């Protein structure tokens, strides 16, 4: 348990807050990934609807 606490402390001391440009880059790539996965799911849904009718 104490090893977990020590490792957590080390991670928090090394970690830094992202700047505005880095944050927006991460937010854009995450948003695009979510949209892409949603689009793939929608296309699969349409294919199944087309072939099952």
Domains of the chain: which residue ranges? 19-53
* pLDDT tens per residue across span 4-17: 888 888 888 888 89
pTM above 0.95, yes or no: no
b/e code 15-51 from CB counts within 10 Å (16+ = b): eeeeeeeeeeeeeeeeeeeeeeeeeeeeeeeeeeeee
Question: Which tens digits make up the pLDDT trace of 16-48?
Answer: 899 999 999 999 999 999 999 999 999 999 999
Q: Give dist(CA 6, CA 26) in Å, integer.
A: 28
Q: What angle do CA 25, 27, 30 make, to 5 degrees?
A: 105
């Amino acid at each position: 348990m104490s090893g977990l606490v020590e490792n957590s402390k080390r991670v928090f001391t090394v970690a830094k807050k992202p700047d505005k440009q880095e944050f927006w880059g991460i937010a854009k790539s995450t948003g695009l990934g979510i949209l892409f996965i949603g689009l793939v799911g929608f296309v699969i849904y349409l294919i199944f609807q087309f072939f099952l009718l």
